[in-house]
Structure 1
Amino acid sequence: MKLRQKILLLAVAPLAVAMLGIALAVRYQATALARHEHALVEAAYLQSKEMELRHYVELAQSTIKPMVDSGRKDAATREAAMEALARLDYGPDGYFFLYDLQGRNLMHPRQPELVGQDLWLMRDPEGALTIQKLIAAASKGGGSVRYLWRKPSSQQVAPKLGYVVAIPEWNWMVGTGIYLDDVEETLRRLDARAAIDIRDTMAWIGVIAGISILLVAASGLALNVSEHREADAKLRQLAQRVVQSQEQERARLSRELHDGVSQLLVSVKLVLETAANRLRIAPTESASVVPVLGMALSRLDTVFNEVRRVARNLRPALLDDLGLFAALQHLAREMQEGSALQVDVTLHGTPRELSDEQATALFRIAQEALTNVERHAHAHRVLVTLDFAADATRLTVRDDGAGFDVARMQLDPNRGIGLRNLRERMAAQGGSFDIASGLAGTRLVASLPLAPPSSLASSSASSSAVSDISPS
């Protein structure tokens, strides 16, 4: 997986997890709120129904109260009281029922077949002893009881809320009730409405999460496109800089070979031709040829020195023969010979063997840094420090020049190519590159980690192999 994809995933994944957490929390809270609302509505509904039933029972008590208070307990008086209670109905399912305290039904306007039956042990579909529960509530001074009973209008078993009181003078229990199937239907509609609202809320959260993820993905895509364009632009500039550097190096070599080596070789050729002509004209006067041949030898020495100089500029031989520190000292001497810049090279730590790639990278960084100081810094002194630390090899170049704006230089696509090249050169070796600049000067630090023994061994083997096949 590419780095950009990982970054995009790291941006999208927490957002998705956060939205999922929000959705679960909202769903939990909404469900809890719906349950709480259900309980509140049910409690309020039952309380209002209980109050209504209590009033009905009080009405029934007041109807038969004169007969009970009369003190008569004969069958005719009780029959008159039953008839009065039977007439007190309120709708198709609103009626009063009457039992004695032993569970025998005395009056039931809607189910006359129950009259006279002993229902003490009768159980509802859920197994509850209905009549015993009613008598127990009545014996405690009256109260409400929830139970299941057949609804007269529909002939279906339905939940019912009954309210009963005892009439101890006649050993009676009188009560009435309201069927709760309409209440439960209302509560079911309320729950269904809450479930729809929760589902709609979750859908909205899902839509918002999807839009947010798409926006993050689109932003990441736009950022990737922008980075791609910027990287392509930098790559093109780098490629152009590489081509320009190659052409400049070729032009420099061409000039040096033409102006130096070529001219010297032409001069040697002319001197040798002069000596040959003298020998041909006067073979016996060999003494006159000796000075000419000496001049040719001297010029050949000059040619050899010029070739060595060109080769040393391409890659210093000291870097392979004596190591990085000696090559840096030689570079500093050459830099001081052509300018008024004072360059000091110091060594910290115990020198150790570096791979060819590491030594070359640090040397080229020092070379580029000193060239930049000479051209742009207006500095008087440069301190180059090579530090063989326990964890890394560090090259530090510090000058007392005018400094520059590092951030602005790095953001400018037309400038700072050299610094980017140095940073990329160090990154290719697994190292780090840091630069800080201000009014007091510029400080450049290049750090390379310790090379594993295998790379050093392979580097040494390749160097020895090159020396073995090189002509002596």
Structure 2
Amino acid sequence: MWSLKIKIILLSVVPLICVTALIASLVFKQSSTLAKQQLKLIKTNIMHSKTLELQNHIAQAFASIRNIYEPASANDQYAKQQVRDILTRLRFSENGYFFAYTLDGLNLVHPILPELVGENLWNYQDAEGTMLIQDLITQAKAGGGFSHYLWEKPSTGKRVKKLAYVVLLDKWQWMLGTGVYLDDVDAELARIKLQTEQNIDHNFIWLFIVTSISGIVIALLGTSLNISEHKLADKKLKALTQRIIDSQEQERQRVSRELHDGINQLLVSIKYRLESATECSNTPTTISVSLHQGLHTINQAIGEIRRISKDLHPSVLDDLGLGAALTSLCQEFEQRTAIDVFFECDINAIHIPAMVQTTLYRITQEALQNIEKHAAADTVDILLTHRKQQLQMSIRDNGCGFEIENKSTQANFKQFNRGPEFASSGLGLRNIFERISHIDGQVSIHSQLAKGTQITIKLPLQKCSTFSQIPLEQIT
């Protein structure tokens, strides 16, 4: 009898421990990979913004001296002194200033360290041995460029990493430049990394706690078993296992749908923007390499995310509301695809629960993605209105359309699954129908070849008000 109980406990606890260990290792591996990719992408974006910031500052500085520099001759000492005075006064932040050198290393302007003015710093090295003045002059001669080195930050007095951008004033053979300090970038990346590691640690702690509690409960249940209860317990265990499997399948389906509508859309949008940036002929080599690395990382992330299941609630709805969120979505879609989007909305006077707002936002997002991929349209009309106690949304395009046996199909999710007219439809339309079915709405699709497609969604406002009191887990 005791041997049988031990076997039952082992058969329950050992698989639990093995599966938990496997899940923990997979979670740790995926979390570490995603964290590294996130840090790499964030650093790339921050450095890109820094380079653009420096280029803008140099352009502003040159605009300040253009009226003096351009009409002056190569030996106009008075004009040179005026330019030096202007550059000495120019500042764009507490630690932001401009400097100038002759091409043989003679310092002409340095508002933070005026004692350097008139000194030849050709052979000056930073703490890492970088011949920074020579490197800056080389970049200037090459038509302008960026350089990294260590320099004292005025606000702290500490030597930190600095990114400088320099150009050549060819007429006077001057190097003009400015820079930004990167200690805040390193600090922000370190903070993000620490936060990510803490989140991973918390997940492992909770996983350990849940596993421990589960093991203890199983052990206690196992010790209380006897021969007469074994068959009943086995039957209940099978039922529980089947219930867990069914719940897992349902959860995977829900998460897959939410993932397709949300994070994947954002990553694809980022990918399109990065691809557009890489096609620019005047993109510096260092930035182009970083963009290609970012594209590679995005492609990897998309591939990974398509296998996972969950979508985050769009924060734009919380910050701006449904009308403003859809306006922003349409503007972004229009800028990215060059497809004209006309959006009208008159729902500001009514209250719509957050869940319904999220559903309508995601449906619009899904429809626009389908139009971009398949419709070959150049115009989209979106109307969101309420009339006669009914919320109504219409999304219409002038694209190629598709054939539907039932020209006006008012569908719920079950009809959509078994309807022959949708047998070849992809995940996009399926998501739209499934989302609307959760809030008891109605969907009708009208489409004709070469004449476009219209999706109409109707939802009674009385039903909308009831969703705010229903837990999200019961309706998603």
Shorter-chain TM-score bucket reads 0.3 to 0.5
Report the TM-score when normalising by structure 2: 0.45
Larger relative contact order, structure 1 or 2 (CA cutoff 8 Å, min sep 6): 2
Structure number with greater Rg is 1
TM-score (norm 1): 0.45
